Structure 1
Amino acid sequence: MYPTSFITACTTALMALPVAAQEMMPATLAGHAVIPAFSFSAPPADAPAETWVSGKYTNGPAAIAAPQSVEINGLMLPFFGQPLQGFSGYAAQRGAENSLYALIDNGFGTKANSSDALLGFTRISPNFDEGTVAVEERIWLHDPDRLAPFRIVHDGSETRYLTGADFDLEGMQIVGDTVWIGEEFGPYLISATLEGKVTGVYPTMVDGKELRSPDHPALRATAQAGVDWKLPGSGGYEGLALTPDKKTLWGMLEKPMLDETGAPEGNYLRVLAFDPDARRWTGDSFKFALTEGAVAIGDFNFIDDTRALVIERDGGQGHVSAACAAGAAGDCFDAPALIKRVTLIDTAQIDAEGFVRRLAQIDLMDISDPDGISRMGDTSGQVEDGKFVFPFVTIESVLRDGEDHILVSNDNNLPFSAGRTLGVPDSNEVIRLYVPELLAAK
């Protein structure tokens, strides 16, 4: 574990880093609800039989033969059933009885290990009094009309349920009776019914050309960065925001685009406009400058006509007080969480170079908890009394919740992420934060 002097030095250095102009606002924990990591459901009755056991490829390209025969991060894999994976985005549109529509990530993290993870979204109801989250409904994506422009895993089946080897779902919105989903492998926009039937798959167009990542199904091993693909891996849509008038979907890329040499074009992200009524890219865009130290965003949702919340994050997990000393390994975090922020932007204020104005931030590693609301008393490290931290590598859902509050959730990357407690797979956590100053920033 790092000594106190080292932690202080790290904190001081971070505070000195240059960032786009904005104010840091306070955040207070107002609610905390948890879905345990080991949470599963049965696949749909007409899904292929192999989907009743998931995670068979998490230990390498060869399938693990026997269920619950291999230990990864304290869990026995493969699993019986489909895991209730981490949430990768909230829709602004609420469901019945004020429930939340939450998108579930692609499975186990990559195309290679997720072919037995079914894709879909859920409708959930956090109960902050009890600290629980009710799963009201689970909707499975399927493509019976063969609209995916490539061969999918279950191509020969009648229902053609989609898997994490087909798409990587990262952001969702609902317009009328149509669900819109931003994904990373293409990157594509996917439209579907509220029952999960795919109605369209739209490639991303930038300057008249299709934007591709190295996971695009048309690419081969000889493809060149900056030429054949202009997004790094896991660099497609991470945030998909809908304007309150429901006229425009704004897709925010997770990572910077690449120039012709294959290098990042800058420390900023492109945000691209799509017309859901016309089902076409409009050509409009703006740029989002990343906080120094952030490497990606996690979600993106409007709070009014022009202002929106964006999650920014580094690639670390765990509290800095439990970080590994130089050269050490073992019972410690080798890359602790340092930059985990929610940033408010104003899309009505775009400068001459195309950058959106950043208004204010909160620090998810510095949340006040004076009333002891936290339900996770076993956070590794030395978290200050009266404080709460959200030390996850992937924090991927944010939504306004009333006049003064927001909701934030993590993607738990089952079974791999263990940012809350060393060696313990992360649960899915939903937190409610009191942030009136952030939401009032102009």
Structure 2
Amino acid sequence: MRLSLSVFAVAAVLAAPALAEESFPATLAGHAFLPALSLVEPPADAPRDAWISGKFTGAARNEQAMSVMGDVGKSYGGHATGISLPFIGQPVQGMSGFAMTRAEDGSWYTLTDNGFGNKRNSPDAMLFFHKMAPDFETNTVERRETIFLSDPDHKVPFRIAYEGTESRYLTGADFDPESIQVLGDEIFIGEEFGPYIIRATLDGVVKEVYATELDGKTLTGPDTYSVFVPAAAGTDFQVQRSGGYEGMALQPGTDMLWAMLEKPILLDGGETEGPFLRVIQFDPKAGAWTGESVKFQLAEGATAIGDFNFIDETRALVIERDNGEGDTAQGCAEGATDLSACYPHPAMVKNIVLVDMSDVDEDGFVRRIGHIDLLDIADPDGIALDGMKPAEGPFTFPFFTIEDVARVDETHILVANDNNLPFSGGREIGVAANNEFILLSVPELLSAE
């Protein structure tokens, strides 16, 4: 049974199931990283504008390369990150999704998001995805190929930032891509601004853009091109800003896509419908929404999800997180006014949850089987790299946005972070977070039913 948005405010509290699930152990089996300041050249036919990116992240245009220090923001202590904007070239940063299907060479398709965090400040941030190969022997990550997204056939239903160019490359002012799947010779991208599903070729050419439908209605967000200010939350748009598709899983056996919103939907008046997320089914072969949807219940303290991938025909992994960053051991004391050497909002909830998509209760909630805690990872063999581990205690992955998870084999999963270059830290105060890839041994989690 699926409840309509108009009646959900009454039913939300009653419908939300109590969470009772097992916590499984996780052991670090590999640790590799791509340095934070990793840049890629734009294509030769890209506009000259794309050669200096991040020019609009401040109050006014700034074309002087590497002239303004990045920081984590006032509410997170205002710590500098040691890396300055604008960039010469395009930042590789921001791993925002793993495709379940690997490339022929064994590398992982992984996606970079919209650039610098929002529609306004990212018109010179190009959109692309990569083939990446972490090597846990050398602790490095090889970027084997970068594929830039473009709209040469004018399939995007609005004016793009590079509208007047011949190449028509897409930028972060057009879309915020957050999840990726490969099906045959095409890719499908879950996007946040629309929210949309984007269908493209493996060389990045957009073929279709699909608006979202839920319960017979089109969902929009405050950044959807058809929404104009003034707009009332819950009435004119139902999806929160930065609350579109953060995870999108490809279901083996059916080839259906399940697109999961990052944040709860808004009702009339601006309140959310409850502490859960909508997961909506899309048929890529038909190019249409099926009308099926389920709900994912967030754990207490979790505010959003980061990625979503099946491990077999019915079970899937979901990253759920809070908005914290940094280890609790370096958290600021209550009432502290000097935040220069501590984390005011340390990470508290960073889980990878196993769900059974075939087990849905009468209120539409999928069953949570169990989870691992990314803030409590065993490292008995001392695999964690120097400078990227706590001084004592278990290994942790205390990043603001952890946005990549996929099954590697019957006992291992791969996890990576979005480092929001140059605006996130998490490992060391005053140092930008690297793009870390960790291999976790989690046999109990992957075998749980």
| TM-score of the alignment, normalized to the shorter chain, above 0.5 | yes
CA contact (8 A) 2:222 2:240 kept: yes
Is 1:200 paired with 2:211?
Answer: no
CA contact (8 A) 2:232 2:269 kept: no
Deviations 1:42-91 (CA, angstroms, capped at 9, x unpaired): 0000000010111111223x111311221222112211111111110000
Give 1:97 shift.
2.2
Counterpart for residue 405 of structure 1: 412
Where 2:329 maps in the other structure, the secondary structure is helix
Give 1:19 shift.
5.8
Give 1:177 shift.
0.6
1:314 to 306, 317, 322: 322
Counterpart for residue 354 of structure 1: 364
Where 1:74 maps in the other structure, the secondary structure is strand
Where 1:204 maps in the other structure, the secondary structure is strand
Consecutive unaligned residues of structure 2, counting only runs of 5 or more, are: 1-16, 71-80
Counterpart for residue 395 of structure 1: 402
CA distance in 1, matches of 2:300, 2:306: 16
CA contact (8 A) 2:308 2:319 kept: yes
What is the root-mean-square deviation of aligned Cα atoms in Å? 1.1
CA distance in 1, matches of 2:235, 2:391: 47
2:66 to 65, 68, 76: 68
CA contact (8 A) 1:321 1:382 kept: no
Consecutive unaligned residues of structure 1, counting only runs of 5 or more, are: 1-17
Counterpart for residue 376 of structure 2: 366
CA distance in 1, matches of 2:132, 2:410: 21
CA distance in 2, matches of 1:165, 1:84: 17
Counterpart for residue 77 of structure 2: none
CA contact (8 A) 2:258 2:279 kept: yes
Give 1:383 shift.
3.5
CA distance in 1, matches of 2:377, 2:66: 38
CA distance in 1, matches of 2:101, 2:397: 25
Give 1:210 shift.
1.1
Deviations 1:272-296 (CA, angstroms, capped at 9, x unpaired): 0000000000000101000110000
* 1:119-268 matched pairs, under 5 angstroms: 119-268=127-276
Is 1:109 paired with 2:117?
Answer: yes
Deviations 1:358-393 (CA, angstroms, capped at 9, x unpaired): 0010000000001110114354x6531xx2100000
1:272 to 271, 280, 304: 280
Is 1:333 paired with 2:343?
Answer: yes
Counterpart for residue 437 of structure 2: 430
Give 1:327 shift.
2.5
CA distance in 1, matches of 2:52, 2:129: 19
2:421 to 414, 429, 435: 414
Counterpart for residue 31 of structure 1: 30
CA contact (8 A) 2:100 2:181 kept: yes
CA distance in 2, matches of 1:146, 1:170: 22
243-252 vs 399-408, which moves further: 243-252
Question: What amino acid does structure 1 have at the position aligned with 2:399?
Answer: F
Deviations 1:228-287 (CA, angstroms, capped at 9, x unpaired): 000111110000000112521000000000112210100100000000000000000101
324-333 vs 284-293, which moves further: 324-333
CA distance in 2, matches of 1:306, 1:68: 47
326-335 vs 409-418, which moves further: 326-335
Is 1:94 paired with 2:102?
Answer: yes
Deviations 1:385-437 (CA, angstroms, capped at 9, x unpaired): xx210000000000000110000000000000011111100110000000000
Counterpart for residue 292 of structure 2: 284
Deviations 1:9-52 (CA, angstroms, capped at 9, x unpaired): xxxxxxxxx96121000000000110000110100000000101
CA distance in 1, matches of 2:46, 2:35: 25
Question: What amino acid does structure 2 have at the position aligned with 1:52?
Answer: W
TM-score normalized by the length of structure 2: 0.92
CA distance in 1, matches of 2:56, 2:324: 25
CA distance in 2, matches of 1:142, 1:362: 38
CA contact (8 A) 1:308 1:346 kept: yes
Question: What amino acid does structure 2 have at the position aligned with 1:362?
Answer: I
CA distance in 2, matches of 1:377, 1:182: 34
CA contact (8 A) 2:69 2:85 kept: yes
Give 1:326 shift.
2.0
1:344 to 334, 354, 359: 354
CA contact (8 A) 1:125 1:133 kept: yes
Where 1:388 maps in the other structure, the secondary structure is coil
CA distance in 1, matches of 2:254, 2:107: 20
CA distance in 1, matches of 2:48, 2:285: 38
CA contact (8 A) 1:19 1:292 kept: no
Question: What amino acid does structure 1 have at the position aligned with 2:348?
Answer: L
Where 2:105 maps in the other structure, the secondary structure is helix
User: Identity percentage over the alignment?
Assistant: 55
CA distance in 2, matches of 1:258, 1:359: 27
TM-score normalized by the length of structure 1: 0.94
Give 1:334 shift.
0.7
CA contact (8 A) 2:414 2:440 kept: yes
280-289 vs 91-100, which moves further: 91-100
Counterpart for residue 41 of structure 2: 42
Give 1:208 shift.
2.1
Is 1:21 paired with 2:30?
Answer: no
CA distance in 2, matches of 1:378, 1:260: 44
CA distance in 2, matches of 1:349, 1:378: 38
CA distance in 2, matches of 1:332, 1:166: 36
Counterpart for residue 377 of structure 1: 387
CA contact (8 A) 1:322 1:382 kept: no
